[in-house]
């Protein structure tokens, strides 16, 4: 595949993910600005609960449509859609039945009705048409982009008038419902095939063989993405007495969302773009490693560029975007940003393993990452500041990265150094950013903060292009347009 074609696909995916993250970010800003930190904390419990149900039941069958050799078979697709619908129904019933205990756990028994209404969301999502996912096998991303962009526009436009009308935590509930409904309707609108269900024992076995490690991985992902916020919100019930309140949950959620947005953008683009790219050459070792190098180097560069500004200027950004009522997030947003940067670094080895049909790599590394929850629970029980909770997540991600690349080397003979070398450059940049914070740069004003963070980012960029000739060559290829590069077959 020519680099121009890869770059064009990357731009399409980048636009889609960037636009989607921007809309999600804008919705969060609207909700946070209109609600008090306590109400925003309650609103966050809806997302925490919904993602628990979704992530612990995901077989990632939509990814199997891309990876499997027979994923283009209509019978295969219809079987996957049946599994998705059944999952949505089961999740809806479970969420409805657990609404009472969940509202009690978070200390908001008056919101029981809202948790019951939340059951509508997985029920709706179960009827998603998977044709936009199937078309990604051929590097056709426009249908999926159309679904994401249009649904995000519609929901974001509705968020402000809804917020001005409701001005309570109910806003988050109806935003989640609207997002699910728009996505499902549009997935049917852009589909090329007719929607249908099928029961094929062969494909069901293939779906569960591929997906059962990811089912366990879903639970681990929940612990990673939502575990710390779950503990903060439920700490008074879990430990009897806790210094954390729903307002603290709101503040932590603001910092978490600000750092998560760009990191998820990069991770999602990496999976969508590089999974089919690596899957095509999974049996050709030299080409596989060449493309894997590009994944690791680009991921490391971007991880540094998105984390450094948040480490140095995160406090300024929180106040500027969300308001002074969330200023306490400045105490720990640097830890959260560094944690998400490590998450971006893990994308390359995870996608490489998945391209080889190995879904256990992500499961094992996330199992290691989830051990950080032990630290989070200990910190919460001791009543330590929120920065300690964020630090637990950082060290958990660091350990998981080591396991990720180590297992890829042992099981698939992909050298760990291909990922670790660019990761070290990224780590050096984050260390410089942390040093700037300890030196008191943010206290000297926003001009000094901006100049220092920009200087560190430029230093990392120059270090990356100097240290990795292939990356330099591919950047030059994209700019000047030669016919080949290191990622060409």
- List pLDDT tens digits, range 361-394: 877 888 888 889 899 999 988 888 999 999 999 9
3-state class of 293 per DSSP? helix
Q: How many CB atoms lie within 10 A of CB 415?
A: 14
Domain ranges of the chain: 1-199, 227-479
Select the more confidently predicted residue: 85 or 284: 85
| Per-residue pLDDT at 398 | 93
Secondary structure, 3-state, 387-445 = HHHHHHHHHHHHHHHHHHHHHHHHHHCCCCHHHHHHHHHHHHHHHHHHHHHHCCHHHHC
Look up tokens 């419902």; give the residue: 177
Angle at 148 between CA 145 and CA 149, to 5 degrees: 80
Q: What integer is the mean pLDDT of 313-329?
A: 87
Q: What is the rounded average pLDDT for all residues in the chain? A: 82
Q: What is the pLDDT of residues 128-162, one digit of tens each?
A: 998 888 877 776 778 888 888 899 899 999 888 98
Residue 486 — very low, low, confident or very high, per pLDDT cuts 50/70/90?
very low
What residues contact residue 111 under an 8 Å CB cut-off, 6+ apart? Answer: 42, 45, 103, 169
Give me 385's structure tokens: 């500041």
Q: How far apart are CA 60 and CA 80, in angstroms?
A: 10
Residue 308 Cα to chain centre, angstroms: 18
Residue 238 has pLDDT above 60, yes or no: yes
3-state SS string for 98-159: CHHHHHHHCCCHHHHHHHHHCCHHHHHHCCCCCHHHHHHHHCCCHHHHHHHHHHHHHHHHHH
- Encoded tokens for 136: 């990604």
Task: Look up the pTM and report it.
Answer: 0.73
Q: Is residue 139 within 8 Å of 9, Cβ to Cβ? A: yes
CA dist list (Å): 185 to 78, 147, 150: 17, 9, 11
Q: How far does CA 320 lie from the centroid of its chain?
A: 24
pLDDT over threshold 70, residue 483 = no
Question: Cα–Cα distances in Å, from 362 out to 219, 354, 365, 408?
Answer: 12, 8, 5, 10
**201-217 confidence digits (pLDDT tens):** 887 887 787 777 667 76
Cβ neighbours of residue 383 closer than 8 Å, sequence gap 6 or more: 242, 243
Q: Tell me: the pLDDT tens digits for 115-124?
A: 899 899 999 9
Helix crossing, 446-467 with 469-480: angle to 10°? 100
Average pLDDT over residues 178-206: 88
pLDDT interval class at 56 (50, 70, 90): low
Residue 144: which of 273, 291, 28 has the closest Cα? 273
Question: Looking at residues 409-435, what average pLDDT do you find?
Answer: 88
Question: 321 versus 269: which is more confidently predicted?
Answer: 321
């Amino acid at each position: 595949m020519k680099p121009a074609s890869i770059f064009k696909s990357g731009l399409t995916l980048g636009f889609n993910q960037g636009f989607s993250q921007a809309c999600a970010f804008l919705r969060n800003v609207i909700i946070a600005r209109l609600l008090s930190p306590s109400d925003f904390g309650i609103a966050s419990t809806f997302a925490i609960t919904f993602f628990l149900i979704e992530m612990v039941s995901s077989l990632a069958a939509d990814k199997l449509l891309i990876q499997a050799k027979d994923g283009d078979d209509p019978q295969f697709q219809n079987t996957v859609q049946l599994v998705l619908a059944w999952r949505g129904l089961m999740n809806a019933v479970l969420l409805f039945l657990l609404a009472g205990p969940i509202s009690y756990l978070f200390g908001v028994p008056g919101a029981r009705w809202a948790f019951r209404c939340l059951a509508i969301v997985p029920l709706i999502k179960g009827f998603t048409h998977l044709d936009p996912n199937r078309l990604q096998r051929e590097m056709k991303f426009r249908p999926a982009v159309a679904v994401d962009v249009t649904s995000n526009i519609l929901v974001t436009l509705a968020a402000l008038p809804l917020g001005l009308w409701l001005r309570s935590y109910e806003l988050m509930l109806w935003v989640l419902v609207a997002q699910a409904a728009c996505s499902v309707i549009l997935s049917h609108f852009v589909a090329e095939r007719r929607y249908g269900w099928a029961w094929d024992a062969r494909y069901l076995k293939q779906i569960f063989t591929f997906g059962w490690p990811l089912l366990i991985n879903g639970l681990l992902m929940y612990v990673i993405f939502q575990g710390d916020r779950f503990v903060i919100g439920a700490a008074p019930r879990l430990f009897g007495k806790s210094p954390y309140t729903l307002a603290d949950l709101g503040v932590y959620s603001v910092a978490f969302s600000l750092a998560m947005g760009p990191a998820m953008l990069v991770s999602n683009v990496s999976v969508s773009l590089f999974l089919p790219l690596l899957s095509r050459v999974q049996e050709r070792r030299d080409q596989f490693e060449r493309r894997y190098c590009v994944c690791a180097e680009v991921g490391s560069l971007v991880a540094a560029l998105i984390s450094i500004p948040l480490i140095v200027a995160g406090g300024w950004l929180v106040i500027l975007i969300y308001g002074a009522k969330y200023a306490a997030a400045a105490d720990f947003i640097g830890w959260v940003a560094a944690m998400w940067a490590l998450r971006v670094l893990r994308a390359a080895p995870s996608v490489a393993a998945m391209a080889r049909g190995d879904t256990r790599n992500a499961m094992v590394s996330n199992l290691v990452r989830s051990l950080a929850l032990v630290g989070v629970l200990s910190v919460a029980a001791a009543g330590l500041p929120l920065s300690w909770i964020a630090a637990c997540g950082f060290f958990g991600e660091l350990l998981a990265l080591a396991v990720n690349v180590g297992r890829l080397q042992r099981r698939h003979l992909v050298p760990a150094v291909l990922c670790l070398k660019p990761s070290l450059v990224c780590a050096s940049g984050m260390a410089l950013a942390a040093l700037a914070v300890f030196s008191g740069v943010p206290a000297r004003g926003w001009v000094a903060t901006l100049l220092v963070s920009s200087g560190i980012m430029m230093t990392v960029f120059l270090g990356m292009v100097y240290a990795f000739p292939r990356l330099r060559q591919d950047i030059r290829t994209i700019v000047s347009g030669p016919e080949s590069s290191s990622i060409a077959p």
